[in-house]
Amino acid sequence: MAAFWWPLSLALAAANRGANCSRKRRSASRGDMMRGKKSGAEKQAARRSGEFVRSVRRNLRQAHRILVRADQEARRCYEKAGAAMLDAKASSGMSEEEFAAWLAPFGLSQDRLLQCLELGQVTFDRRNAGVIEREESRGAKERRDQMSREAIHREEEESERRQRELVQ
């Protein structure tokens, strides 16, 4: 009879615990078998930690974007400065020594000066290539316009000739 009573008592106890006990008592009755629920303070601390992680990541992304934009902007400024340096040299006809003396008051390091001149040369070449392309495209457009004027003139002459033939 004891063997029969024991499984039945476990089943009734389990049913009662599930139906009538609160979660805290249920987790307390299970003891060390299952990990207990987190307290409110633990949940709040975990939430705060997650917020801090998101904030740190967001700020690091923003700092990276700012650095990239600053590098791009600095490069553009060096390009413009280098192009202006080369324009000044070309327009004034300075020798290399005069050009070096003219650049000295700017206080650029050798590396920065080389960077400016290299980027300026690229900009200068690109600008000159653009001028040449525009002149070429303008010439091509004028040739097309001339050709179309000639074609229009030929068509008009052709239509006049046909009209005269029809009249005769």
Pairwise CA distance, residues 33 & 10, whole Å: 17
Q: pLDDT value at position 132?
A: 67
Q: pLDDT value at position 62?
A: 94
- Which carries the bigger pLDDT value, residue 110 or residue 137? 110
> In three state form, how does the secondary structure of 58-91 look?
HHHHHHHHHHHHHHHHHHHHHHHHHHHHHHHHHH
Q: pLDDT value at position 50?
A: 83
Pairwise CA distance, residues 114 & 27, whole Å: 72
Q: Is 15 exposed, middle or buried (0-12, 13-18, 19+ CB in 10 A)?
A: exposed
Q: pLDDT value at position 4?
A: 46
First to last CA, the chain: 136
pTM of the full predicted structure? Answer: 0.47
Residue pLDDT, tens place only, 73-109: 999 999 999 999 998 998 888 888 999 899 999 998 9
Cα 101 to Cα 36, 107, 126, 168, distances in angstroms = 79, 11, 27, 84
- Which carries the bigger pLDDT value, residue 128 or residue 27? 128
Compute the average pLDDT of residues 99-128: 88
R_g over Cα of the chain: 43
Cα 104 to Cα 4, 98, 101, 113, distances in angstroms = 104, 10, 5, 10
Residue pLDDT, tens place only, 3-58: 444 455 555 555 555 554 455 555 555 544 456 677 878 888 878 888 888 888 99
Band of pLDDT at residue 127, cut at 50, 70 and 90: confident
Pairwise CA distance, residues 159 & 163, whole Å: 6
Q: pLDDT value at position 2?
A: 47
Pairwise CA distance, residues 56 & 59, whole Å: 5
